[in-house]
Structure 1
Amino acid sequence: MAIDPSADRPVYKQLADLIRARIEQGELRPGQRLPAESDYVAEFGISRDSVRRAMAVLRGEGLIITQLRGSRVRDAGEAAIVSITQGTSLMARMPTEPERKQLGIAEGIPILVITTPDGETRLLPADQTIIEVGDQD
């Protein structure tokens, strides 16, 4: 698959599509590091900004995790499963800078704010959290 700068679809979305397909086809496996930004720039002749935007799309979809030393395919087992019950509120929002640092998440990743009926609040990275709704009985 090639990236076509003259296509109607933005270049960063084309790159995200290409990487997503490689993950879905098993060419990039869970835990495997993705090529460096500079590798994508050289391979496809696109800007570093386009690569970063593509990575942000894939992080938002929960397919990759970006840390100090680059990005890697997220292992499905890395997501925390959180059960909520009736009366618990759930809200997604962008974190403040201190919250982002505390949770160790990259820019552009939303957080989930979970507030239990007794007022306890938890902040969780949205790209690493699966919410299960408990029985309403």
Structure 2
Amino acid sequence: MIDFGSDRPVHRQLADIIRADIAAGRLKPGQPLPSETRLMQQYELGRVAVRQALGVLRSEGLIVTVKREGSYVRPQVPIERVILRVAAEVSARMPSPDERKRLNIPEGVPVLVIKQPRQTERLLPADRTILVWSENGQ
């Protein structure tokens, strides 16, 4: 439940509750979350706090929101292992809207930018990429 006397903002507390439900499997991948109105009633919160909580979860890549439909637990995606040479440079950043669309990633998920000698720069979704370092790139 929400502790209105806590120093922790109520929207963060609601995000914690929903995150725990996802982690425990009470909310499964692809399952819709309760509507904003239902969350407002259930937790006695205003619309702004509910939207902020959903925004936190979206930024963590745990949920996706579809306009005029609602929010859903993000479906699980396959993980790709990428082998890197020692000389590789890796950085992370937020993708542009076009990159998000091309890579099919929701808002809030960063991308990894990989630069390796004699190879084209690669852009990979950070939430489904595991980087493996190798002395010889194999």
Deviation, 1:16, is 1.1
TM-score, normalised to structure 2's length? Answer: 0.75
How many residues matched? 134
Q: Which residue identity lines up with residue 44 of structure 1 in the other structure? A: Y
Q: Which residue identity lines up with residue 130 of structure 2 in the other structure? A: I
Q: Which residue of 1 aligns with 2:3?
A: 4
Cα distance change on mapping 1:36 and 1:95 into 2, 3 Å:
same
Q: Which residue of 2 aligns with 1:116?
A: 116
C-alpha distance in 2, partners of 1:48/1:124? 34
Moved beyond 6 Å, runs of 4+: none
Contact 2:59 2:107 in 1 (8 A): no
- Out of 96-105 and 23-32, give the one that drifted further: 96-105
Q: Which residue identity lines up with residue 31 of structure 2 in the other structure? A: Q
Q: Tell me the secondary structure at the aligned position of residue 12 of structure 2.
A: helix
Q: Tell me the secondary structure at the aligned position of residue 134 of structure 2.
A: coil
Q: Which residue identity lines up with residue 7 of structure 1 in the other structure? A: S
C-alpha distance in 2, partners of 1:132/1:42? 43
Q: Which residue of 1 aligns with 2:92?
A: 92
Gaps of 5+ in 1: none
Q: Which residue of 1 aligns with 2:129?
A: 130
Contact 2:88 2:116 in 1 (8 A): yes
Query: Which is higher, the Rg of structure 1 or of structure 2?
Result: 2
C-alpha distance in 2, partners of 1:70/1:79? 24
Measured on the aligned residues, the alpha-carbon RMSD in Å equals 2.5
Contact 1:31 1:75 in 2 (8 A): yes
Deviation, 1:93, is 1.1
Q: Which residue of 2 aligns with 1:57?
A: 56
Contact 1:38 1:48 in 2 (8 A): yes
Deviation, 1:105, is 4.0
Deviation, 1:20, is 1.5
**Percent of aligned pairs sharing the same letter:** 47
C-alpha distance in 2, partners of 1:84/1:53? 37
C-alpha distance in 2, partners of 1:33/1:41? 16
Cα distance change on mapping 1:84 and 1:59 into 2, 3 Å:
farther
- Out of 48-57 and 86-95, give the one that drifted further: 48-57
Contact 2:61 2:108 in 1 (8 A): no
